Chains A and B, each alone.
Chain A
Amino acid sequence: MSIGRTRSISLMGLTGNVVDIEVDIASGLPALVLIGLPDTSLGEAKDRVRSAITNSGSAMPPTRVTVNLSPASLPKQGSAFDLGIAMAILAGTGEAPAESVAAAIHLGELALDGRVRPIAGVLPAVVAARDAGFTRVVVPAGNRAEAELVSGITVIPVASIRHALVAHGADIAAFDVDVLRAPDASAETISERDLADVVGQPEVVEALIVAAAGAHHVYMLGSPGAGKTMLAERLVEILPDLTPEQSLEVTSIASLAGVSQTSQLATRPPFESPHHTATAVSIVGGGSGVIRPGALSRASRGVLFLDEAPEFSPAVIDALRQPLESGHITIHRAHQVAQFPAHVQLVLAANPCPCGQAGLSDSDCVCTPDRRRRYRARLSGPVLDRIDIHLPVRRVARARLLDDSESRVTTAQARARVVTARATARERWGGAAPASQELRAGRFRLAATVTAPLDLALDRGAVSMRGYDRALRIAWTLADLDGTTTPTRDHVGRAFALRKGLTA
């Protein structure tokens, strides 16, 4: 009898696909039929839509209503199609202006009383809508702030079906309703952690600054109470602010993770510190039905801190190997494939042995050598080889604790140095850092006299080829921090020491 149409967005990872919602209002007994590969929560949309339409004062057509979500082959999940389905039905019955409804993207879950509930993943969905060339997107009023972070598309926040009808130009009165909101993300706490809190470990602080400047992964090894966790938390503070694209990426992941309502773009790099009982899926992402980003992706453009790294299941740590190299993770499930960013700076922390006393002068380690070896072996060689900076963290002696004479570096100072060094690097590389091949043999090849310490180590088999490349990169970072145009022999030496920190 009549057809209503509109569009919505189906998210797979951070990629949004435009989904056509077609509604056919045909003769037949009253029924609402949903076709087009819906999952359970989407299948339940039928009942939500029916109640919401009736309870908001509109009429559900007493005929056979067929809702088709197209492309039919694309798996669709979640409740974000509710509003689109309802508006397409009302466009079909003539209650809503059909042209206006058809031209807009609709996102939102419906409450039974006809109000519109906020949904997870509004930000990437609105970005997808804009990139697909749409000019108007109707979003839940509770997601307004998040949707408005996207420029170049008109955001129409609606609190209920009636509001949506009015927004499309229907000639009815809209009653004010209480806007349904998701729990708000707690206002960003100003960090109380300053780098200046770190006492008596200037060489460790310096190594952290190098790590931040070159985005090098760090492995901290030290006895309990030496300050490993404290240092990791401060590393994220000295990273520079996110660039606009990074910021959008980070906020999109946060929005998709759906833990809380995002109302502003993230400007600071994220920090994730999963507990060591975490499963591989919780770290790299996955899940049945909806593929959700894991801690690795939530920490993208920031720091992923694995405290007590040897306590993690070795399979979990090894799952990080490939994404650390490529900067993204592709998750395959039977029905779909999702790709998430994984540009993390990995920070591992470990005790020297299970009892934590090894290497301390004033206490005895009770672990057998075999036990100690097994403990260390839980971090596989391939993983440790990918980590640029190996950092021994020692307990602070009392003398250094009381010594106020040395000036401590504050977070602000450190961040300024990091920002300058990164700017220098960007200018020299002209964008992304070059391939290792370039560093070894190409345009950025260093003089043989400069790389002599490294060459010798390579000849002796003391470093792997990857280790050699990593040390070269650290040398460049050190040069950037010092403001010299190319690394000197001293930089290469220091880089090698940072790389081999544990054995030095």
Chain B
Amino acid sequence: MAHKDDLGRWGERVAAEYLESEGYSIVDRGWRCAHGEIDIIVHREDCTAFVEVKTRRTLQFGHPLESITPAKMSRLRVLAGEWCRTTGYSRGRIRIDGIGIVGDGVRIESLDHRTDVIA
């Protein structure tokens, strides 16, 4: 497996641990369908969040969250709808979150959690 995929997987693990520590319960991880993949799906207090995780080693090429482009956002939106349809979800609100992690695969330099990024 490529080096960058290792880092991404590590970042997703870190994000999942962080979300659990924040009181979220993990609903699914790496959920796939024809449109793509949702990194993490969590639930807390009547709200389900679809979380996109981005990991980078340094800030040299910009913040990891900067790589979530408008195109990526609209795909996440479609994916969220697709997940609701497939699972028959109707328990409450949904939202899309972004988590940006800077770290080298061992040590976490920073972790940014932005909630409800689709305004």
State the A residues within 8 Å of B (CB): 27-30, 62-64
Contacts and interface: CB of A to CB of B under 8 A. Distances in A.
Contacts of A64: 119
Interface string B50-87: 00000000000011011010000100000000000000
Nearest to B117: A29
A63 B115 CA distance: 12
B114 interface: yes
A30 B117 contact: no
A28 B66 contact: no
Given A62-B63, A62-B66, A28 B117 contact: yes
Chain B interface residue bracket vs A: 10 to 19
Contact of A27 (B62, B66, B114): B114
Contacts of A29: 65-66, 68, 73, 98, 114, 117
Contacts of A30: 62-63, 65-66
Interface string B99-110: 010000000000
B68 A27 contact: no
A62 B112 contact: yes
A63 B66 CA distance: 9
B86 to A, nearest CB: 26
Given A62-B63, A62-B66, A28 B119 contact: yes
A62 B100 contact: yes
Given A29-B98, A62-B63, 12 more contacts: A28-B114, A28-B117, A28-B119, A29-B65, A29-B114, A29-B117, A30-B66, A62-B62, A62-B65, A62-B100, A62-B112, A63-B114
Interface of B: 62-63, 65-66, 68, 73, 98, 100, 112, 114-115, 117, 119
14 contacts: A27-B115, A28-B114, A28-B117, A28-B119, A29-B65, A29-B73, A29-B98, A29-B114, A30-B62, A30-B65, A30-B66, A62-B62, A62-B63, A62-B100
A414 B63 CA distance: 71
Contacts of B65: 29-30, 62
Nearest to A30: B66
Contacts of B115: 27
B67 to A, nearest CB: 9
A28 B112 CA distance: 10
Contacts of A28: 114, 117, 119
Contacts of A62: 62-63, 65-66, 100, 112
Nearest to B67: A30
B1 to A, nearest CB: 28
By Cβ-Cβ distance, the 9 closest A-B pairs, closest first, are A62-B63, A30-B66, A29-B117, A29-B68, A30-B65, A29-B65, A28-B117, A30-B63, A27-B114
A28 B119 CA distance: 8
A27 B68 CA distance: 14
Nearest to B112: A62
Nearest to B69: A29
A68 to B, nearest CB: 15
A63 B68 CA distance: 12
B66 to A, nearest CB: 4
B34 to A, nearest CB: 25
Q: Which has the most chain B C-beta neighbours within 10 Å: A30, A63, A64?
A: A30
A62 B67 CA distance: 11
Nearest to B72: A29
A89 to B, nearest CB: 15
A62 to B, nearest CB: 3
A29 B52 CA distance: 11
A325 to B, nearest CB: 55
A81 B68 CA distance: 28
Contacts of B98: 29
B75 to A, nearest CB: 14
A28 B65 CA distance: 9
A64 B118 CA distance: 11
Contacts of A63: 114
Nearest to B73: A29
A177 B106 CA distance: 41
A27 B114 CA distance: 7
A64 B70 CA distance: 13
Contacts of B73: 29
A62 B117 CA distance: 13
Nearest to A29: B117
A62 B62 CA distance: 8
A50 to B, nearest CB: 10
A61 to B, nearest CB: 9
Contacts of B62: 30, 62
Contacts of A27: 114-115
Nearest to A27: B114
A29 B67 CA distance: 9
Nearest to A54: B62
Contacts of B63: 30, 62
Contacts of B68: 29
A456 B66 CA distance: 85
B83 to A, nearest CB: 20
Nearest to A26: B119
A222 to B, nearest CB: 68
A268 to B, nearest CB: 53
